[in-house]
Amino acid sequence: MEYVYLPRIESPADLKKIPRTELPRVAEELRDYLISVISKVGGHLASSLGAVELTLALHYTFDAPRDKIVWDVGHQAYGHKVITGRRDRLPTIRQYGGISGFPARDESPYDTFNVAHAGTAISGALGMAVARDLKGEDFHVIAVVGDAGLTTGVELEGINNLGTLQKKVLVILNDNKMSISRLGPRLLRLSKDLVESAKTKLIPGLVFEELGFNYVGPINGHSVEDLLNVLAKVKDSPRPTLLHIVTQKGKGYPHAEKLPVKFHGVTQFDVSTGAFHKAPTKAPSYTSVFGKAICDLAEKDARVVAITAAMQEGTGLDEFARRFPDRFFDVGIAEQHAVTFACGLACEGMRPVAAIYSTFLQRAYDQVIHDVCLMHAAVTFALDRAGIVGADGPTHHGLYDLAYLGALPGMVVMAPKDENELRHMLYTSPSWPSAAWSIPASKRRRNSRPRESEPPSSTRGSSSRSTRN
């Protein structure tokens, strides 16, 4: 595609010089540029493709960085980076010396809040709005939240407090009916109740109105004209406003539209075919070894259940979910609930394995202490992405698990040196009152064939650290 407008845009001020009628063309160019670059370097693609028109409408309507735009998680913010002066640096994204894969305050004044873990946008935006009013200043605050974000407790806490304080904040609900993994039907229905009830003819916006919000929508999130019109109407509302837009994850790239989960986070791929260029490997990942091992264990022990927090694929539980659907639980982006839920299962004799990224278990530290450790519950935590994870940066490094778990009473902390030890640890861990072990982010060493799991003579070895306080 020949870029007519994109090379001219170094800031939102340049975007505003383009005639409004030409913004759909800008959207096409931006979407094409994102696909072209990310196909070569990898990154979070589908979410950003779905937010292209919203990105343009926000920067065309508001005066960033004076007006504060807070993106929840940040997977959808690649277009925002391009429009705010980082177009030529996009090929360096998620690389050493390059730009971050998420909004980062030290990278650009347009990135008003560091994000990467879900659920922080509304609370952060509310804090900015309160500070604005206390200082007697006048600017807009906008929080952009995905529909899956409504399953996080902190997002609901933020909604409740914002409705109570009645501060001037615009919350944009980007409804693409997705999280990273598709939520289970009950959880998906729960998260949709808030938005679906607002669509009905009998009680339009009732739920959000009862929470203290003006509700507007739903509107087509891929129509720049519709977005500009509604943003002009709601931007000066003195009350909290929730604007509900409907988008398609992966919009504009057929392969991503068809397989939005697969194209959520991508490695290099062929644009024409959608085929990924996989680097040759001689060994499976630790995650895949874990996925097979937990299935083997579940075959032998009907008490074994698996829990994840909206990361079914990322934690290697795809096969388990297919083979043991009654014993698989994706609780959504709700790590605190996941841990206490696992504890309840353990109290009744089940053997729960909570597969959670190391960085995300930090969100449930109180539950690990209060619920699991103090009750000596037989909960196994399989912490994926341990250690330095590389491209996702400091928000996703699993550097702290050994320290924050090793200090807890009764917690056994282990890290496998190879795939066989991983299998042994998984086999043995249900016999401990509580156990956590880290799955490194790197590939395993191919030093031996995987053997059938058996209880080792001791979990205390060259690769493990134990605490029995």
Residues classed as catalytic: 249, 335, 363
Distance between alpha carbon 265 and the CA centroid of its chain, in Å? 11
Burial pattern 297-313, b for ≥16 Cβ within 10 A else e, equals bbeeeebbbbbbbbbbb
211 contacts 159 by C-beta, under 8 angstroms? yes
DSSP single-letter state for residue 364: G
Torsion of the alpha carbons at 254, 71, 158 and 153, rounded to the nearest 10: 50
Q: How many residues does the chain have?
A: 469
| Token pair listed for 355 | 């597969």
Sheet holding 328-330, edge to edge: 328-330, 304-308, 351-357, 379-386, 434-440, 411-414, 464-466
Rounded Cα gap, residues 145 and 128, in angstroms: 16
Residue given tokens 């504060």 in the structure block: 68
Burial pattern 27-52, b for ≥16 Cβ within 10 A else e, equals bbbbbbbbbebbbebbbbbbbbbbbb
Rounded Cα gap, residues 122 and 73, in angstroms: 11
β-pair type (265-266, 43-44): antiparallel
Rounded Cα gap, residues 168 and 149, in angstroms: 21
